[in-house]
């Protein structure tokens, strides 16, 4: 079915030639002699205006083309006299693929994002969601481009795993056992040796451990795939299924890790600003006023770096009544993160060297033995967007950490082998892709930057 994408039609330089376009009717207005249709095919933000003379043979199709209907228009591409649009199509023939019933929910009025979430199968036909998902595509392309240009190899880590990366719960079990009558062992516990994988398995929370194995062979790798967390936190920045980007580098320390994270964020922002101009203009005007300027400023300035210990001092002096009281040893909460990045530094800030007791077993222990070489990147509007660290490469220290976290050495023997056979200083981080999209678009709820959100109590579509 040969036709021109509306994106290309709108950029045409040659006029008065025949063109075929396809799309969905956004609006239609009829006067005595003409009908005007706004046609959108999602290839770009803008719709194209179609003018149909009531004298054309297929005019009855025009009158049937209700909002939401899918149509094909053959006509002449004309330079438009009207202001606001440069081109329009003068229809010669209009065909309908499918009429939209009159209860089509996306009629012209504005809808709340909450309502649109309930019709996620249709919401991508709105301005906002069309723009979100084009930006999501561009950012995703930029992620792969960035790493490819820097010699990182793309690694597909497994989704089903028998290990728990954080050494804590909150995972989704994967099992084919009979849920009503599972086989039991002598202790009357579920006998997972009878399960599909002959052991207890779950959906992965992170591809990091496997990325470390690959970095120990290919030097620089990254994963970009779905991860799952059964955390029952119904917030605007947590999903049960989200996409994570995880680079891992051999022969790299914490400073090198932060340099990469900073360069990465800037690169993706720049790419999206350059390649999604129209969509970004929309967010700038209707979603987060001034977002383009603030992203451009960000690309020019350096990010702050500050130790956890200094951050706690700043928070203690902040003269704010936080819900969670501040003292050395606490996990920094969202309210603290936002104060540090939005009010204190007024720009992105890396917090480094967290207390050992609140961080994962694989993070490298610092010489003070109280802190680890961890870093979180906090950004205005969101708080944490990246969590990363230099990894513990010393076998004896790693073993002690694992014992402290009650981790079984046998389950992780392969992870420890990497420290046994040519260990290297290495580092990496994890960045939640949806948080990055929220940051780029100004959309406040993470459910609105993922095609079909999975959250507690909701897995529709």
Strand stretches in 81-182, DSSP E = 87-98, 153-154, 160-161, 173-174
* Shortest spacing between CB 426 and ligand ATP, in angstroms: 17
Least separation in angstroms between CB 118 and ligand ATP: 21
In DSSP terms, 350 is beta-bridged to: 305, 377
Distance of closest approach, residue 229 Cβ to ligand ATP, in angstroms: 5
- State which residue, 60 or 405, has the beta carbon closest to ligand ATP: 405
CA distance 460 to 144: 29
Least Å distance, CB 227 to ligand ATP, is 8
Give residue for tokens 């090198």. Answer: 256
Q: CA 322, CA 320: separation in Å to the nearest integer?
A: 6
Q: Find, among 337, 332, 394, 406, the residue nearest to 369 by Cα.
A: 394
Q: Which is nearer to ligand ATP, 248 or 434 (CB)?
A: 434
Rounded to the nearest whole angstrom, what is the least distance from the CB of residue 446 to ligand ATP in the complex?
Answer: 6
Q: Which residues contact 238 (CB under 8 A, 6 or more apart)?
A: 229, 231, 446, 455
Stretch (H or E) spanning 135? helix 127-149
How far is residue 83 CA from its own chain's centroid? 37
Of the two residues 207 and 432, which places its CB atom closer to ligand ATP in the complex? Answer: 432
Nearest to ligand ATP of 239, 349 (CB atom): 239
In the complex with ligand ATP, the residue whose CB is nearer, 49 or 390, is: 390
- CB closer to ligand ATP, 37 vs 382: 382
Least separation in angstroms between CB 275 and ligand ATP: 23
Rounded distance, CA 270 to CA 226, Å?
24
Structure tokens at 457: 């109590």
CB of 349 to ligand ATP, least distance (A): 14
By beta-carbon proximity to ligand ATP, the closer residue of 430 and 442 is 430
Residues that bind ligand ATP (CB under 6 A): 229, 231, 238-239, 242, 244, 384-387, 430-432, 434-435
> What is the DSSP-derived secondary structure letter of residue 447?
G
Cα Rg, the chain, nearest whole Å: 27
Distance CA 419, CA 406 (A): 19
Helix (H, G, I), strand (E, B) or coil at 267: helix
Please report how close the Cβ of residue 333 comes to ligand ATP at its closest, in angstroms: 9
Report the alpha-carbon angle 155-263-252, nearest 5: 60
Select 200 or 231, whichever has its Cβ closest to ligand ATP.
231
């Amino acid at each position: 079915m040969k036709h021109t994408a509306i994106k290309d039609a709108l950029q045409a330089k040659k006029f008065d030639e025949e063109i075929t376009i396809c799309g969905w009717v956004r609006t239609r207005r009829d006067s005595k002699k003409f009908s005007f249709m706004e046609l959108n095919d999602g290839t770009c933000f803008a719709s194209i205006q179609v003018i149909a003379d009531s004298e054309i043979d297929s005019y009855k199709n025009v009158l049937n083309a209700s909002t939401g209907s899918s149509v094909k228009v053959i006509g002449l591409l004309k330079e438009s006299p009207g202001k606001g649009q440069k081109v329009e199509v003068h229809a010669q023939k209009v065909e309908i693929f499918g009429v939209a019933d009159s209860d089509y929910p996306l009629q012209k009025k504005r809808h709340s994002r909450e309502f649109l979430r309930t019709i996620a199968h249709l919401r991508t036909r709105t301005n906002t969601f069309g723009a979100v998902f084009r930006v999501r595509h561009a950012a995703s392309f930029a992620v792969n481009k960035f790493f490819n240009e820097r010699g990182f190899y793309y690694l597909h880590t497994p989704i089903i795993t028998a290990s728990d990366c954080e050494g804590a719960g909150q995972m989704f079990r994967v099992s084919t056992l009979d849920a009503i009558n599972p086989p039991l062992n002598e202790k009357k516990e579920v006998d997972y040796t009878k399960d599909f994988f002959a052991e207890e398995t779950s959906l992965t929370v992170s591809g990091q451990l496997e990325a470390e194995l690959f970095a120990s062979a290919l030097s620089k790798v990254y994963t970009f795939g779905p991860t799952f967390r059964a955390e029952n936190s119904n917030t605007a920045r947590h999903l049960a299924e989200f996409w994570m980007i995880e680079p891992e580098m051999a022969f790299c320390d914490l400073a090198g890790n932060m340099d990469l994270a900073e360069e990465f964020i800037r690169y993706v922002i720049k790419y999206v600003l350059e390649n999604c101009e129209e969509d970004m203009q929309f967010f700038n005007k209707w979603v987060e006023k001034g977002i383009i300027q603030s992203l451009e400023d960000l690309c020019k300035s350096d990010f702050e770096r500050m130790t956890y210990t200094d951050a706690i001092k700043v928070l203690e002096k902040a003269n704010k009544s936080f819900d969670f009281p501040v003292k050395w040893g606490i996990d920094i909460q969202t309210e603290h993160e936002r104060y540090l990045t939005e009010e204190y530094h007024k720009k992105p800030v890396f917090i480094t060297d967290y207390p050992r007791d609140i961080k994962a077993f694989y993070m490298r222990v610092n010489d003070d033995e109280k802190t680890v070489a961890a870093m979180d990147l906090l950004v205005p509007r969101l708080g944490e967007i990246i969590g990363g660290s230099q990894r513990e490469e010393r076998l004896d220290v790693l073993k002690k950490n694992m014992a402290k976290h009650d981790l079984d050495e046998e389950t992780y023997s392969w992870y420890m082998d990497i420290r046994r056979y040519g260990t290297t200083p290495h580092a990496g981080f994890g960045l939640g892709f949806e948080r990055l999209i929220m940051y780029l678009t100004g959309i406040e709820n993470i459910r609105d930057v993922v095609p079909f959100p999975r959250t507690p109590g909701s897995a529709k579509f």
